[in-house]
């Protein structure tokens, strides 16, 4: 057992194999939460003109220094229009929010602080300042300036900024993930399993986990336990940045997947990690993708049991996707306070489904309780959990109140 890699050693080996990905062009809506792969420059000044920020009157502030603040009405400028002439001395132009103010004006007085009268407008506000209620041309950004830097994680407001500088697509890092379910026992979810068969529940789970990490994730057809068809499906998967295979890596499974990967030029980095569930995890790197000028894909072989796959994804594939994207690594295991007795037996660190309890002290480790669980094939219990309590190797009885690790499923 001691010759197996620990979780930390295995993760280190995965991260060492990562080569950060270049960007790909994506439409803005697809770029949400992705990492920006370019510095984005403003193509114009923004605002492109001196702009009224409120509805009211564009004025010359020096006309309003006295007690008698009456101005005659000039032109009316709505948003989308342009002034036809400059503002004369003693004149006010009616401006709508978003409209350009006329040359010569240097302030806007809000509509609410004026009244009409004597064929013009009385300004009730005293002390009108130059610049008031005007957003000067270029105040938000100047043409040529970098408005968003490479590495920014794109929120909706960033996408708005991109649109404002003329972008409908943008270079971002978006790892391509292919998922290959393997195993003669698997049938697609829409089919009723025959004797000895089981529905493929891993693919949709791993696909949506990858999507949550901003990957573009595709599920390939179920590969049978036969060398040639298996190799054909895996070869397709090796065109992606990350290939995730489920099943076919456990000790007794005739080594079909490792053998097929070897024939395809995938270099094994490790097979088996000291953890439970999920020990048979296989990891390697595929051959360089010469056609697209890219290094080889990361290749993960996950055990077929759904919970083993889920734990393997959280511990290794999620950090790998972050590293491929140049995204800061999220905290993996946090601390939590066990609120129930737990009897741990085993020589591997063990991940046991647990749920967060409410009502804990918000300033201390979160209280959790372990759930009754039938083992790594029991996904139902894991779906009802908030994550996994982590128990180190070695037989031990844990008491309520003890601090243990907690790996959230999110």
Applying the rule CB under 8 A, the residues between 310 and 329 that interact with a copy of itself are 310
Query: Bridge partners of 135?
Result: 51
Q: How far is the CB of 40 from a copy of itself (least distance, A)?
A: 11
Which stretch, 17-25, 63-71, 294-302, 370-378, contacts a copy of itself (CB under 8 A)? 370-378
- For a copy of itself, the closer of residues 162 and 245 by Cβ is 162
Cis peptide before 270 (omega within 30 of 0): no
Q: Count other Cβ atoms within 10 Å, centred on residue 330.
A: 11
For residues 216 and 178, give the distance between their C-alpha atoms in angstroms, rounded to a whole number.
9
199 part of the interface to a copy of itself, by CB under 8 A: yes
Q: Peptide bond before 47: cis, by omega within 30 degrees of 0? A: yes
Least spacing, CB of residue 257 vs a copy of itself, in Å: 13
Residue 220's nearest CA partner among 260, 261, 178 is 178
The percent helix, strand, coil of the chain (3-state, each to 5) is 20, 30, 45
Q: How far apart are CA 163 and CA 406, in angstroms?
A: 41
Task: Check binding of 163 to a copy of itself (CB under 8 A).
Answer: yes
**Positions in 218-237 near a copy of itself (CB under 8 A):** 225
Residues 20-39 that bind a copy of itself (CB under 8 A): 28-29, 32
| 204 lies in the binding site for a copy of itself (CB under 8 A) | yes
Residue showing tokens 């594939």: 317
Q: Applying CB under 8 A, which part among 59-67, 157-165, 338-346, 393-401 lies near a copy of itself? A: 157-165
Question: Please, are residues 381 and 374 in contact by the beta-carbon 8 Å criterion?
Answer: yes
Query: Of 117 and 252, which CB lies nearer to a copy of itself in the complex structure?
Result: 252
Identified binder of a copy of itself from the candidate list 74, 237, 286, 306, rule CB under 8 A: 306
Contact between 356 and 342 under an 8 Å Cβ cutoff? The reply is no
Shortest separation between residue 267's beta carbon and a copy of itself, angstroms: 25
What single-letter DSSP state applies at residue 88?
A: P
Q: Which class for 306: exposed (0-12), middle (13-18), buried (19 or more C-beta within 10 A)?
A: buried
What token pair was written down for 151?
Answer: 């590495």
Q: Give me the least distance between CB of 307 and a copy of itself, in Å please.
A: 8
**Which two tokens mark 173?**
């890092």
Q: How many residues bind a copy of itself (CB under 8 A)?
A: 98
Cα separation of 131 and 365, whole Å? 52
Residue 251 binding a copy of itself, by CB under 8 A: yes
Residue in 12, 62, 65, 81 binding a copy of itself, rule: CB under 8 A? 81
At 236, list the tokens. 């397709």
167 binds a copy of itself (CB under 8 A): yes
Minimum CB distance to a copy of itself, residue 194 (Å): 9
Q: How far is the CB of 385 from a copy of itself (least distance, A)?
A: 8
130 binds a copy of itself (CB under 8 A): no
CB closer to a copy of itself, 140 vs 265: 140
Min CB(294)–a copy of itself separation in Å: 26
Other CB atoms within a 10 A radius of the CB of residue 114 amount to 20
**Within 13 Å and on the Cβ side, how many CA atoms surround 152?**
20
Using CB under 8 A, pick the residue from 88, 153, 339, 377 that binds a copy of itself. Answer: 377
> Rule CB under 8 A: is residue 53 a binding residue for a copy of itself?
yes
Q: Are 7 and 349 in contact (CB under 8 A)?
A: yes
Which residues 252-281 are close enough to bind a copy of itself by CB under 8 A?
A: 252-254
The correct pick among 20, 48, 392, 394 for binding a copy of itself (CB under 8 A) is 48
Q: List Cβ neighbours of 293 (8 Å cut-off, separation of 6 or more).
A: none
- Of the candidate residues 24, 105, 114, 200, the single one contacting a copy of itself (CB under 8 A): 200
Closest CA to 241 of 322, 327, 164: 322
Distance of CA 263 to the CA centre of its chain: 35
Q: Are 203 and 181 in contact (CB under 8 A)?
A: yes
Pairing mode, strands 366-370 and 334-338: parallel
Site string for a copy of itself, 169-188 (x = CB under 8 A): --------------xxxx--
Closest approach of a copy of itself to the CB of residue 295, in Å: 28
4, 41, 75, 111: which one contacts a copy of itself (CB under 8 A)? Answer: 111
Stretches 52-60, 229-237, 262-270, 325-333: which one binds a copy of itself (CB under 8 A)? 52-60
78 binds a copy of itself (CB under 8 A): yes
In the bound complex, what is the minimum distance in angstroms from residue 182's beta carbon to a copy of itself? 10
């Amino acid at each position: 057992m001691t010759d197996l890699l620990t979780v930390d050693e295995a993760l280190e080996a995965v991260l060492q194999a990562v080569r950060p990905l270049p960007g790909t062009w994506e439409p803005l809506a697809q770029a949400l939460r992705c990492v920006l792969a370019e510095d984005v420059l403003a193509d114009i000044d923004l605002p492109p003109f001196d702009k009224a920020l409120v509805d009211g009157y564009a004025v010359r502030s020096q006309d309003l220094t006295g007690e008698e603040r009456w101005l005659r009405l000039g032109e009316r400028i709505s948003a989308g229009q342009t002034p036809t002439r400059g503002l004369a001395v003693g004149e006010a132009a009616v401006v709508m929010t978003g409209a350009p103010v006329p040359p010569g004006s240097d302030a806007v007085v809000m509509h609410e602080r004026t009244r009409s009268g004597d064929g013009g407008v009385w300004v009730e506000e005293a002390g009108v300042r130059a610049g008031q209620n005007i957003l000067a041309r270029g105040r938000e950004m100047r043409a040529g300036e970098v408005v968003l830097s490479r590495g920014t994680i794109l929120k909706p407001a960033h996408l708005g900024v991109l649109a404002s500088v003329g972008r409908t697509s943008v270079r971002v890092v978006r790892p391509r993930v292919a998922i290959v379910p393997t195993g003669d026992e698997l049938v697609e979810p829409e089919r009723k399993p025959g004797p000895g068969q089981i529905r493929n529940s891993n693919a949709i789970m791993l696909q949506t986990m990858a999507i949550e990490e901003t990957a573009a994730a595709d599920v390939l057809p179920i590969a049978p336990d036969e060398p040639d068809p298996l190799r054909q499906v895996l070869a397709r998967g090796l065109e992606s940045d990350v290939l995730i295979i489920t099943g076919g890596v456990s000790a007794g499974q005739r080594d079909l997947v490792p053998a097929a990967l070897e024939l395809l030029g995938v270099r094994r980095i490790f097979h088996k990690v000291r953890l439970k569930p999920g020990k048979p995890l296989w990891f390697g790197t595929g051959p360089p993708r010469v056609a697209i000028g890219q290094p080889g894909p990361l290749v993960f072989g996950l055990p077929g049991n759904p919970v083993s796959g889920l734990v393997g994804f959280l511990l290794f594939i999620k950090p790998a996707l972050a590293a491929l994207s140049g995204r800061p690594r999220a905290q993996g295991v946090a601390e939590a306070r066990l609120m129930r007795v737990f009897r741990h037996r085993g020589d591997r660190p063990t991940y046991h489904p647990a749920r967060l309890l409410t009502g804990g002290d918000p300033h201390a480790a979160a209280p959790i309780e372990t759930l009754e669980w039938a083992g790594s094939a029991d996904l139902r219990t894991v779906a009802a959990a908030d994550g996994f309590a982590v128990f180190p190797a070695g037989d031990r009885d844990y008491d309520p109140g003890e601090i243990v690790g907690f790996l959230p499923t999110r």
